[in-house]
Structure 1
Amino acid sequence: MTDDLFTDRKRRAALWFRELRDQIVAAFEGVEDAHTDGPHSGGAPGRFELRETSRQGPDGSDAGGGLMSVMRGGRVFEKVGVNVSEVYGPLGDQAQRSLTARKEIPGLQDDPRFWASGISLVAHMQNPHVPAVHMNTRMFWTPGGWWFGGGSDLNPCIEYAEDTADFHATLQRHCDPHGADLYPRFKEWADEYFFIPHRKRARGVGGIFYDDHCTGDWEADFAFTQDVGRAFLPAFLAQVERRRMMDWSDADKETQLIHRGLYAEYNLVYDRGTKFGLQTGHDPDAVLMSLPPFARWV
């Protein structure tokens, strides 16, 4: 595989993640504009604040960065972040150990260069009846290989069976054209991955998760990853529209805050992306964007 070919493929992947970010930001601001009646509809519609992020390599050199986009205190979204990044350089020892613990990467000890780009999204909602949600997709490259990863999962504090079924059905419709085995396999992976061992329970109602995905056909794997991203808005916005006008009580809000504690525990203790981002020196505010604005423990 020539360097020029992979330079082009990196460019295409990074551009796609940025395009997806732009689509989602526009859609979420549209939801804010549309919420003119019902609970928490007063005040100005929420808008994303943008900040460039940067990363320094182990030697202090420029090693990429990204764009951090966060909306706080909206009518519908209490806090939502949609970040994109493109980072590169040599992997430090800790990051190398973390990576090689789960994946064999030929020649990594001799040539520890890496490149990674992706989109990461977490939304925490004002209304406890509207589920929180997570989505990310990414491409990773080293001289010894490349792969894709990502997925999305729904995290309601008040569960509705129809929301869960609809969310999963939309994900499956986008997965099935790439292989009938992908959705059930990646759904099972999500059920295992988004589990909180010390609580002995799942973080939410699942979705799909995949990592180290490399069939040997880059175009096919990239096309699948794009469709995982395309599935997100129809899968999630259907739940927002179904629930955003529902009234809520103080007890409902308490339930939401306690559930957010589970989300924070998972992301700080188990999440691979959080660990890798901090290990590789990325902007900690961008890495920890996923944390809720408020949470409660009992």
Structure 2
Amino acid sequence: MKLDKQQQTVSDWFHQLRNRICQQFEAVEHQAGSQAVFLPTPWQKNSDSFGIQKGHGIRSLMKGQIFEKVGVNISTVKGCFSPDFAQKIPGTEKDPHFFATGISLVAHMANPHVPNIHMNCRFLQTEKSWFGGGIDLNPSTPYQEDTDEFHLALKAVCDQHNPDYYTRFSEWADRYFDIPHRQTKRGVGGIFYDYIDNDFEADFAFTKDVGSAFLDIFLKLIARRQNTPVSEEDFHRLHVYRGRYTEFNLLYDRGTLFGLKTGGDAEAVLMSLPPIAVWE
């Protein structure tokens, strides 16, 4: 699939970030005495009924001692939105063709005291182009210390680029990660942004910093909580929380909808689902 210079630059960086994350997460497992590694599954598609003209990516999954299940996916696709879905996407009024590339990560942790986390960054082009993404923390056993440090780190990243970003994007995350039928939130927030199209270089720099900051933030939280003693009550609370997490991802998550509506790899799109969840 031939890409222009801008598209290739962004796609390459997402690939590099994916490699860094996988290496660091494998190192965490190995330090804990586990031999777990990511199992990468490349995928490729040509024209199909969903409108994908060409697309490829890597679905990577690891199940270990610290990470009960963690998936890191990258994808790059070109295609044509269906008429109904195109109405929801900016810049498709005259031409429904699109380009999209991005990285998506979900980590479900073995110890209930280690927070679960979600991160994604993406770049889309129609007749317009923009970046989107974010990071949100999903602890089943929240610690105020962890929540505060997480948000301070995100604020520091945002403030480097725009003094308004953190307030805007953290409030956006609070609105977005809502489970209205449960009258609760998914996790303790984070940042969520989309349709950022001020200046390509500046917006790309911000997205790169968001992706890089993810590793720094999360590795500290893992190290702090991974050896905390656990009880049956801790695991039960974790599994109930995962049920709520699953409901959000299947009912409301835009990334899940976009991936399935555009013919993305179904296993990659649904890798966010936890290995064990319960409903009561």
TM-score normalized with structure 1 length: 0.90
Q: How does 1:62-101 map to 2 (within 5 A)?
A: 62-72=53-63, 74-99=64-89
Partner of 1:40: none
Cα distance in 2 between the residues matched to 1:158 and 1:240: 13
Moved more, 163-172 or 151-160: 163-172
Q: How many residues align?
A: 278
Mapped partners of 2:254, 2:157: distance in 1? 25
Query: Once the 2 structures are TM-superposed, how far is the Cα of residue 93 of structure 1 from its aligned partner?
Result: 2.2
Residues 130 and 95 of structure 1, relative CA distance in 2, 3 Å threshold:
same
- Are 1:156 and 2:139 an aligned pair? yes
Q: Report deviation, 1:90.
A: 1.4
What is the aligned counterpart of 1:201 among 172, 177, 184?
184
SS of the residue 2:227 aligns to? coil
* 1:125 has 2:109 as partner: yes
In structure 1, distance between residues paired with 2:235 and 2:47: 42
SS at match of 1:81: strand
Match of 1:248? 230
Q: Tell me by how many angstroms 1:62 deviates.
A: 4.7
C-alpha distance in 1 between matches for 2:52 and 2:254: 25
Q: Do structure 1's residue 34 and structure 2's residue 31 form an aligned pair?
A: yes
Secondary structure of 2:157's counterpart equals: helix
Q: Which amino acid aligns with 1:182?
A: Y
Partner of 2:204: 222
Offset of residue 109 of structure 1:
4.1
CA distance in 1, matches of 2:36, 2:71: 12
Shift of 1:235: 1.0
TM-superposition CA deviations, 1:58-83 (whole Å, max 9, x none)? 467752120000002x0100000000
For the pair 1:54 / 2:36, whether they are aligned, the reply is no
Maintained 8 Å contact 1:56/1:282? no
Alpha-carbon separation, structure 1, partners of 2:83 and 2:70:
32
**Partners of 1:53 and 1:267 in 2: how far apart?**
23
Superposed displacement of residue 209, structure 1: 0.2
The offset of 1:256, in angstroms, is 0.2
Q: Does 1:184 align with 2:175?
A: no
2:6 aligned with 1:9: yes
Aligned to 1:114: 98
Contact 2:75 2:101 in 1 (8 A): yes
C-alpha contact 1:183 1:208 (8 A) present in aligned 2? yes
> How many angstroms does 1:110 deviate by?
3.2
Cα distance in 2 for partners of 1:110, 1:238 equals 47
CA deviation after TM superposition for structure 1 residue 145, in Å? 0.8
Q: Partners of 1:31 and 1:94 in 2: how far apart?
A: 44
Shift of 1:98: 3.4
Higher mean alpha-carbon deviation, 56-65 vs 160-169, is at 56-65
Query: What is the letter of the counterpart of residue 173 of structure 1?
Result: A
| Amino acid of the structure 2 residue aligned with 1:191 | D
**Is 1:262 matched with 2:244?**
yes
Structure 1 portions without partners, runs of 5+: 37-43
Q: Which runs of 5+ in 2 are unaligned?
A: none
Bigger drift between 84-93 and 145-154 goes to 84-93
* Contact 1:57–1:281 (8 Å) recurs in 2: no
Identity value in percent? 49
Which residue type is aligned with residue 18 of structure 2?
Answer: R
1:41 match: none
Cα distance between partner residues in 1 of 2:262 and 2:47: 8
Report the Cα offset of residue 121 of structure 1. Answer: 0.1
Work out the CA distance in 1 between the residues paired with 2:258 and 2:47: 14
Counterpart residue identity of residue 200, structure 2: W
Specify the code of the residue in structure 1 equivalent to 2:11: A
Structure 1 match to 2:125 = 141
Secondary structure of the structure 2 residue equivalent to 1:83: strand
Change beyond 3 A, Cα 1:199–1:56: farther
1:113 positional shift: 1.1
Moved more, 170-179 or 48-57: 48-57
